[in-house]
Each structure stands twice: as C-alpha cells, then as structure tokens.
Structure 1
Amino acid sequence: MKRKKLYLFLCSVITFLSVTNAQNFEINGIVYDEQGDPAIGVLVVLKETKLATITDTNGRFQLLSPVEKAIVKISGVGYQTLEVAAGKNLQIQLKPEAYLLEDVVVTGYQQLPRDRVTGSFKILPLDALSKPTTNIGSRLIGTIAGLQANTTLDGDISFEIRGKTSLNANAKPLIVVDGFPIEGDLNTLNPNEIESVTLLKDAAAASIWGARSANGVIAVTTKGNRSAFNRSETKIEFSSFFKFAPKIDLNYARSLASSAETIEYEKMAFDAWSANMPADAFNAMSSFSPGLVALNEHRLGYLTEEKTNELLESYKKYDNSEQIKKYLLQSPSTQQYNLNIATDGERANHYLSLLYEENTFYAKGKDNWKTQIGYRTNVQFAKWLKFNLSGTFTYKEATDNSVSNGIFGLTPYEMLVDEEGNRTNLTNGWYQPNLDRYFVKENFPYDFTYNPITELESRDLRTTNIDARLQAGFTVKILKGLTFDSKLQYELNNTLNRNFYSDKSYTVRATVNQSSSYDRGTGKVTLNLPLGGFLDQSRTRTDGWNIRNQINFDRVFNGVHEVTAIAGTEAR
C-alpha cells in the first residue's frame, strides 16, 4: 500500500513538472546600439506578463514566457522603444530617439533635447524655415520673443537680443554656424541650407561662449551635417522664386509737408529761428533752399518784394514727387535659384548646394548679385573613426550709384527737370547768388551745377565680397559613451571697394573747383589738382582660425540613469 502511494506521488510530481515545462518558453538574445556595440542596461519587458529584465555587460538577456507567441518590448534612454516577436537568439539593434528639430536645442558645442536644457532659449519654428527668402534673418522677424529687428528700406536686417547692453559697444548677437562663431553675419548664409536656428538669451549663453555672447547667441545648424548613414540614396531638390514690389510710397517714406506749407513755414521762420543766412560778401560756401535764398536776396536788396512773392508763389505749385519716382526710383525685385544634391551611403554622405541670386533695390543704380557654393561630407572610416568636412564659398558684387540720400534732402518744390525737360541746377553746397556776383565762373575748369540725375549717371561705385569658410574634423570613439572630437575652422572675408567718379560728376567738379586758387583781382584760376575722374580703391581682408579639441561623455546606466559631460580647449 505504501509503495502504491509513493508511486502515485512521483507520478503527480512528474506530471506537474511536465505541465510546467510545457507552459514556459525561453526567450533570449542580444541588444546592440546604433554603432553595433552591445547595449548595456537596456530594459526588456515581456508585454503580456510584465516580466522584465535588463541586458548584461554583453548586451544579452533571457526570459521565460508562459505563452509561446509573446511580444518583447525593448526600451532605453535616448533610444526608440521597439517591439519584436519573442524567440531564441534574437539580434536586436536600437535606433536613436528621433527628436523633432523643434525639440532640440543647439548650443554650439552640443545638441540637447529641450527638456534637458536650463536657461532661456528660443527655437525658430520649422514652418518659418520653409518660407522663400534671400536672408535667413527675415524669417526670424516676429517669430521669436525677445528678438528685436531693425530693417532698412533695402531689406538689410540687424538684430538685438534683450535690448542694448552698452551705449557704445557693438549690439549685434554672436552668430554661431555648425558649432563655430563666424565673422560674417546672416547675409553670408544660404537660407535654403538652414536646418535649425536656436537663440540663447541669458547667462546660459555667457557660460558657453563667454563675453562674446553678451548680446546673445544665434546658433545655426546647416543641412548635410548628419552623422547617420543609410543605404545608397540620392536626393535632388531645385527651388526658385521671383519677388517684385512697386516703387516705394514717397509720401510715406519722406513724410514732408506740401510745397505750400513748406514755403509758409520758411517765410515764418526767416530771420526768426531759421539758420543764419549768408551776407553779401565774398563767400559762396553755403547751401539753402530756393525759398530761403529768395527771402535772403530780398533782404539784401537784390530782389523786390513783388519778385520775391512771385517766386515764392510759383514754388508753392511745384511737387517733385513724380519726377523723383521717374528718374531716381525703381521697382525692387529679387530672383533666386537654388539646387541641392544629397547622397547617402552606408559609410559616407555628401551634400552639395548651388545658389544664384539677383536683387534690385528701390533706388535706381543700386543692385547686387551673388553666387554661392556649399559642400559637406561625413565619412565613417571605421567603427571608431569618423571624419567630416564642410566648406562654403560666396562671391558677391554690389553696385550703389544711387542718390537716395539726396532725395530726402530736397524740399518738395525743388524740381529735377524744367517744363522743357532740361535738367535743373539744385542747391548743394553753394550759395548761388554770391557765386554769380563774386566769382568768374567761366574761368574755373568745371561748372558748379548739381543735378542728382547727372550724378547717378556719372559714377560707378562697386563692392566685391569674397567669403569663404572651411570646417574639418574627426571623431574618435575611445570607449562606450566616450568620444574625442578635434575640429578646426578657417574663415576668409575679403572686401574690395572700387569707386570711380567721372569728370561729369559733382564730386569731381566740386573737389577740383574748391581746391583751385582764385585771384579776386584778375579772376585767374590756378589748378591744384589735375583734371579727370577720381578712382578710390580700398581692400579689407580678415583671416580667422579656430581650433577646438573636445572630450564628450554620454552614457546610460541601468537603462534609467544618463550621464553627459563635455570638456575641451579652444584657440582662435
């Protein structure tokens, strides 16, 4: 009887163990990071039962599942959460967390998720980057709080972050492109190459960039600086746009009183609080409006009251707005063509951009054109060695023969041409009545007349800019989570100014006449400068070097703890 009971007990145990073994299925495998190395401390969860474990120092894990068709969930800090079907000898490779660009803060030395950054920062919205423009600065206007923009009629933009920090010092923020500060401004960047823009605004900027960031930092990341490598793929993008605007509203831009109101004001102010008028003397070096000249000539006795009033009343009927629009203004326009070619391979990626752009501005005689070439490459020579190279070359020519400054100095009744279409003589540095009375003008080599239309046609003022920037570096993987970066940047800014004034320009004529010696007794004029045009040239060149060595540590422990640190040296 005892033997029978013992037999039944052993059968029960065997049956229990058999059932238990039949209900548990082994799941094991190895988890690798994006570089192909074993991922340590990654959390592995059996989705149906919530049973969990973490990978060991070799990236291995093992679980027992009560069901055969189970789902394994793998997650780690900085990586995407994966779900795979359960099985044996699984080979699982993690993928880095794909942060949206709006969730990544670029400090210049590193890129961090938004939730890990302290201090005040702003990120340019992604939709603003897609808008066509000639200057990335125009995309920043009105999109980021705390950024003050100043825009000229020609579209030139300057920025201030947090207002002025000094009355006399430069108020421009520091521009950082792909981790290095640049000498140029945002105009030197191809707006179609920008991938992200981050503004650092408080002490966090100063702690990174020092005194140079007293006015804030604009950190820019360009396209093509990717470190991930995919299967061979080529992507070609072409974009172009044309922008056209009517001539500026002169009444708004100049904001002057009418001719009649101006004359009445000059009559009221004359000999009261207006400027001191010249006396009847051997002195012609002064300039006043025709209305004030008529009033002064009447005071000196050269004009009767009737003639003076006749002149003033005639001036009230004139309005030079239409003539200024016709002869001195033009409709601004912009045309831009951009070609991007990106190639990704298993061990290298390349990015090439070509840009051509033309601009005409509101003032006649003012325009520019530029062409820009950009190239970037990243090469993975080995699992522990990565190389990157990028370069940008920009050639720009600008012409500014405009007389826009003279436009705002004219009274509304000073006409550019008379009723027959002949160009008039406008005041510009001379008191014409004294010049007529005390000088024999015919003895001077040039006449003393000034007309802005003639001045526009008689000069060629050009500026040529060559901007080049080269960045190169390599990254060495020392240990898991520990890397060494060595980078350098070379920057060249070369500006050539070439200003030519022909002998028909007022600049040449006035300079030669004023430098001449005049004998009041005989009216003889002795030249002290040779006749002919003026050529004024100047060149400015800036070379900049920046070398940086940096150690980076970024590692996750036990799947929940992450340690990040950087240290390095920089010379410029």
Structure 2
Amino acid sequence: MNPIKRKSYCRFRLRYVLIAKLLTIMMFVAVSGYAQTLPSTFIIKGTVTSQKGETLPGVSVKVKGTSIGATTDNDGKYSISAASGNVTLVYSFVGFTIQEVEVNNRNTINVKLAEEQNDLDEVIVVGYGTQKKINLTGAVATVSGATLTERPAPNAANLIQGRITGVQVTQPSGEPGRDNPNFLIRGRSTYGGSTDPLILIDGVAGSFNNLSPDDIENVTVLKDASSAAIYGARAANGVILVTTKKGKKGETVFSYRTNFARHTPTALPDLITNSAQYMEMYNTAAARSGIAFRYPQADIDLYRNSPDKAQYPDFDNMDYYINPANVMQHNLSISGGSDKSTFNISAGYLDQNAVFEGYKFKRYNALLNYNNNLTKSISVGTIINMTYKDRKEPPFTGENMALLVYAAGPLYGPFLPDGSGRIVSRAYANEGRNRNPQEAYAMGEQTTKEYNVNAQAYIDIKPFKGLTWSSKVAINYVDEYYKMYQHPYSAYLLQDRAAVTNEYVANSFGPDILGVTDQYSKVLNPTVYSTLTYEKTLGTGHNLKALAGFEQLSYKNQNLRGRRIS
C-alpha cells in the first residue's frame, strides 16, 4: 500500500472514531437531560361521599386544565396522579353540583358533593296557562329576567341573544328606536310572508320594543309544533311568551336601578384621509374606467404642499361624524302585598343617542300589575303597561347616513373655511360625488311620537278542586304621529370660484324642497279569551290535565297622511 494513502486512511479512521465517540457522548448527555426533565409524580387519594355520608361510585375526578382523570370505585375511593401538589381537582357526578378543590400539596382529600337543586317542579309558562317542567314533552326554553338584566341593553329583545338555544336574534339597525331585532326560531319558516314569531306579553300580543328590561319576570320560548300548537297558524314561526313582574306577599319593597353606557363602533373601515393620495388614486381609477374628469396635477400639489389646510384639507369624515354615544337608563319599582292582594308599580326612562349627531330616542315606561283574592276561590287582577316613545332624526336613516360618511372623500369638510357656516357641496364642479353628509342635516328633520297602551283585566274562578275558569279582556292601543320638515338650503364648491369676484359658487345637490309631511296612525286590537282547565292526580305519578276554551281577536288600523311641497 502506498505510504501516503495509508497515512490518509489512518487519519480518516481516527477522525471517524473521534466523531463516533463525540456522538455517543452527546446522545448520553441528551438522554440524561431528558431523564432529568421528566415530571415528578404527585399522588392524591381520597373518598367522595354525598352530604348524607353515602359513598358515590363513578364520580369523575380530573386535574383542572389537563386530560388527566380518574373515577371513584364502588366504595367511592379514587387515586389520581398529578405533576405537582399545586393543582386543582374537579369532581363531577350526575345529579350533584360540580366542585373544585385546590390540592395544596395534600396527598389525601375527601370530598362531600352537594345535590343539585331539583328544578323539575319548576312551573313554566306555556300556552294559556302553566305547566310543571317535569310534565313538559315539547321543546320549551325559559330564561329569567334576572339573567337578562345581567348585561345592559336599551332594548329588552336584544338581551335574549345567546341565552336560548335554537333562537337566532339579529339586529337590523343600530339606530336608536329602530333597533327592534328579528327572531328566527329553529330555522326559517313563514306565516303570512313573515318569519317573525308570535310574541305575547302576559298572554296578549305585543312588542318587546315597548318593554323595559327591568319589568320582565321571565321569557319562555315555544320552539316546536307540539308546544305551540294550541295557538294554531299564528305559531308557525314559534311563540315567545313574556311575563311581567308581579308583586309578592310581604313588606313593601322599593327598588331603583340605573345604568349609564357609552356606545362606540367595534370596527370601522380604514378610509383614505390624505387628499393628494386620494386624488392620485382617483385619477388612476378614472383612466382605467374611461371617466373624463381628472384632478389637475397642480391642484394635487396644492393639497399636498399648501400650508392653508382650511382651504386644502385632509379631512377625516369618520372622525368628525362618528363619536361615542351616551345611553342612560333609570327604573324605579314599588312592590309588595298581603294575604289578599299583591301589587307591582314601576316607571322607567331611557335616553339613547346615536354615534351620529342628530339621532335621538327617548322612551318612558309605566307598569301596573295588581292581583286581589276576593275569596278562596275567586281572584281578579289587572295589568296595564304604558309606553311613550319619541324619536328624532334627519330625513336620512342611520344606515344611509353611514353610507354618506363612508363615501365622502377627504377633499372638503362640512363647511366653507370663511366662517360663514355655509355648507360645502363638493370641491370641483365636474367631479363625480356623493352628497356631503352635512347636507343630510341641512335638509330638515323628522319626528316620530308613539303612545302605546296594553291593558287587560282577568278573573280566575275555582268552583271546586281541580277546575279553574279563567277569563281575560285585553286591549292593545297604539297612537303614532309622524312629521317631517324639508326646507331648501345652499351648498357651495370649495375650489372652483367665480371668475370676476372670486366668490364661492353655489352648487346644491338636487332640487330645493320646501315641504312638510304629517301622518297619523291608530291601531286598536281587542282580545277576549276564556278557558276551562281541569287537573287531577290519579294514583302515584299519574296526572290528568285538560283544557278547553276560545279566543277572539280583532284588528283595526287607521292611517291618514298629508303632504305639502312647494
């Protein structure tokens, strides 16, 4: 063998052996390091029993936040391993409340689980009466008024959102007074061309928009045919039953609740507020679309370089027109009662503004709920719910106002920079444009005032055990007055001036209108119904309940509209 090659071979072999030894050492160190990072095991043992001391087999025991778990044996004993003694164990079992216990380095933890409160005897409001929860077979869901008022909202209907499965609540508008949501129960169905469910306030057709959230005792939703069939075709889209608060036997209770909130948009589009950039992008788009008008380069340079930002602004329309809106709610109630009678009287006030200036809504509520037990077998009562609503806004709805703000460019603000208070129409005579948002306020205003009275009187007679005769007479009255003023205004170009006088040139959008519109609407809906209910317990665990009755509804609508334009 060539001595040079042999020497090279020895060097290669020596290097190979050294590399192999280094890899072995590295693997040993890595394995050793891995073994040292293995978590130590902390074992917890114990017994799970009921409050009566009975052992509970099959209880689930889990380490909170992990997938580690165990189950108690026939004697209620368990053993579980955790990474450390600073964990929390979660104990759960059907029919018992879930309990969490911090380990705190204890190896033995005995737990007593408390039984869940049995709500099968809870009374649920259903069609033309009540039913125990244990006897319900249809799809019925209930949410209490206390749960609804956990989060503030001006409209009581919006509080149902996310509270009841199978009920979809969508709000078509965020404008104050127009935010009455749409309900969709278990998908889309139609009755009379509408997807709205039947809404009954204390058994009488009404609207959530006329209720204060603080006046609601509970809301029940009848979601399927079996639970809502008693209402016939009106229940094709489901039924929502709202029960208002009643008085309770005991001392007179005064309650006052107030809420103040500021509404702000959760997200806004990122609009261009640099005028020079806006003009250049417009010219590029116009060239591709074949639009004749172009912004001259000299004017673009003025917007970019001129120190006179009043005449050549970079105006942010969203920052100017959209601002936080204040909402104030007050509610005062007085309730109480004795062995013979109970009462609840409440008054509410809502003052709601919009994120756009000029949109205001006020609502006044009053509720009287009175019941009197004349004898052991006869009780009478009355429920009166009165609402007054006052909504003021520009001739444009809130949605259209938002579109005006989004579409307006940054080339001009609401007013001319000379301090005269005159409104800007647009920057240049030949540019395509949308209406300046400020023009919506200059056009006029519209006002809607609505009076609503939902009153009812009822009597319940129990001639003998098990039989109840209930009769009710109710009336729903709505009186609405709408008025819109329109008056002419002048708007001016910001950049194009008169050749001789250098004055601002008038350039209004559309025809000038001077007019007034008056509209009166009246709705009268009387309701009468009477039912006979017989209920009897047969032996052990068997119940018989029968209901028969009739209901008569009438609808009367009147509208009168007058308009004068010059």
Give me the TM-score of the superposition, normalised by structure 1: 0.62
1:118 to 2:137 alignment: yes
Distance 1:458 1:424, change over 3 A: closer
1:495 to 2:515 alignment: no
The answer for unaligned runs of 5 or more in structure 1 is: 1-97, 275-294, 299-306, 436-447, 510-528
Matches within 5 A, 1:117-266: 117-124=136-143, 127-131=146-150, 132-151=152-171, 152-154=173-175, 156=179, 157-166=181-190, 169-182=193-206, 185-224=207-246, 230=249, 233-246=251-264, 248=265, 252-254=267-269, 256=271, 266=282
Match of 1:309 among 293, 297, 302: 297
Give the aligned residue type for 2:448: T
Matches within 5 A, 1:295-374: 296-297=292-293, 308-311=296-299, 322-326=316-320, 328-374=321-367
Find the aligned partners of 2:229 and 2:445 in 1 and give their Cα distance: 47
Per-residue CA deviations over 1:473-500 (Å, capped at 9, x if unaligned) read 1111122101111112100112111111
2:460 touches 2:468 (CA, 8 Å); kept in 1? Answer: yes
Find the aligned partners of 1:465 and 1:269 in 2 and give their Cα distance: 48
Matches within 5 A, 1:267-282: 267-270=283-286
Distance 1:406 1:557, change over 3 A: closer
Find the aligned partners of 1:101 and 1:325 in 2 and give their Cα distance: 54
Aligned length: 401
- 2:124 is aligned to 105
Find the aligned partners of 2:452 and 2:490 in 1 and give their Cα distance: 32
2:444 touches 2:485 (CA, 8 Å); kept in 1? Answer: yes
Match of 2:376 among 383, 387, 402: 383
1:493 touches 1:541 (CA, 8 Å); kept in 2? Answer: yes
RMSD over equivalenced CA pairs, Å: 3.6
- 1:555 is aligned to 536
Q: SS state of the match for residue 474, structure 2?
A: strand
Distance 1:316 1:111, change over 3 A: farther
Q: SS state of the match for residue 363, structure 1?
A: coil
**How far has the Cα of 1:262 moved from its partner?**
5.8
Give the aligned residue type for 1:119: G
- 2:454 is aligned to 469
Find the aligned partners of 2:482 and 2:410 in 1 and give their Cα distance: 35
Find the aligned partners of 2:166 and 2:439 in 1 and give their Cα distance: 45
Distance 1:129 1:209, change over 3 A: same
**How far has the Cα of 1:170 moved from its partner?**
1.8
Give the aligned residue type for 2:316: E
Distance 1:406 1:137, change over 3 A: closer
Give the aligned residue type for 2:160: L
Per-residue CA deviations over 1:217-245 (Å, capped at 9, x if unaligned) read 1111111177xxx4x63121111121124
Distance 1:558 1:316, change over 3 A: farther
Find the aligned partners of 1:219 and 1:167 in 2 and give their Cα distance: 18
1:408 to 2:395 alignment: no
Give the aligned residue type for 2:339: E
**How far has the Cα of 1:144 moved from its partner?**
1.6
Find the aligned partners of 1:168 and 1:325 in 2 and give their Cα distance: 44
**How far has the Cα of 1:205 moved from its partner?**
4.3
Matches within 5 A, 1:451-530: 451-457=436-442, 459-504=444-489
**How far has the Cα of 1:418 moved from its partner?**
5.6
Per-residue CA deviations over 1:363-403 (Å, capped at 9, x if unaligned) read 10011112111111111112221111111111111111275
- 1:538 is aligned to 519
> Which 10-residue stretch deviates more, 101-110 or 470-479?
101-110
**How far has the Cα of 1:117 moved from its partner?**
0.9
Find the aligned partners of 1:565 and 1:330 in 2 and give their Cα distance: 58
Per-residue CA deviations over 1:123-151 (Å, capped at 9, x if unaligned) read 22565233243222232112222222223
Give the aligned residue type for 1:383: K
Find the aligned partners of 1:205 and 1:325 in 2 and give their Cα distance: 51
**How far has the Cα of 1:472 moved from its partner?**
0.9
- 1:426 is aligned to 425
> Which 10-residue stretch deviates more, 481-490 or 311-320?
311-320
Find the aligned partners of 1:254 and 1:187 in 2 and give their Cα distance: 30
Q: Report which structure shows greater RCO (CA 8 Å, sep ≥6).
A: 1
Distance 1:308 1:555, change over 3 A: same
Give the aligned residue type for 2:148: L
Distance 1:128 1:414, change over 3 A: farther
Give the aligned residue type for 1:425: V
1:263 touches 1:315 (CA, 8 Å); kept in 2? Answer: no
Distance 1:219 1:455, change over 3 A: same
Find the aligned partners of 1:426 and 1:129 in 2 and give their Cα distance: 47
Find the aligned partners of 1:313 and 1:215 in 2 and give their Cα distance: 61
- 2:42 is aligned to none
2:325 touches 2:354 (CA, 8 Å); kept in 1? Answer: yes
The answer for unaligned runs of 5 or more in structure 2 is: 1-116, 306-311, 493-510, 554-566
Find the aligned partners of 1:101 and 1:222 in 2 and give their Cα distance: 22
Q: SS state of the match for residue 268, structure 2?
A: helix
**How far has the Cα of 1:194 moved from its partner?**
0.7
2:293 touches 2:431 (CA, 8 Å); kept in 1? Answer: no
Distance 1:192 1:219, change over 3 A: same
Find the aligned partners of 2:188 and 2:437 in 1 and give their Cα distance: 37
**How far has the Cα of 1:406 moved from its partner?**
4.0
Give the aligned residue type for 1:161: I
Find the aligned partners of 1:540 and 1:119 in 2 and give their Cα distance: 39
Give me the TM-score of the superposition, normalised by structure 2: 0.63
Q: SS state of the match for residue 170, structure 2?
A: strand
> Which 10-residue stretch deviates more, 536-545 or 399-408?
399-408
Percent identity of equivalent pairs: 23
2:364 touches 2:387 (CA, 8 Å); kept in 1? Answer: yes
Find the aligned partners of 2:130 and 2:228 in 1 and give their Cα distance: 17
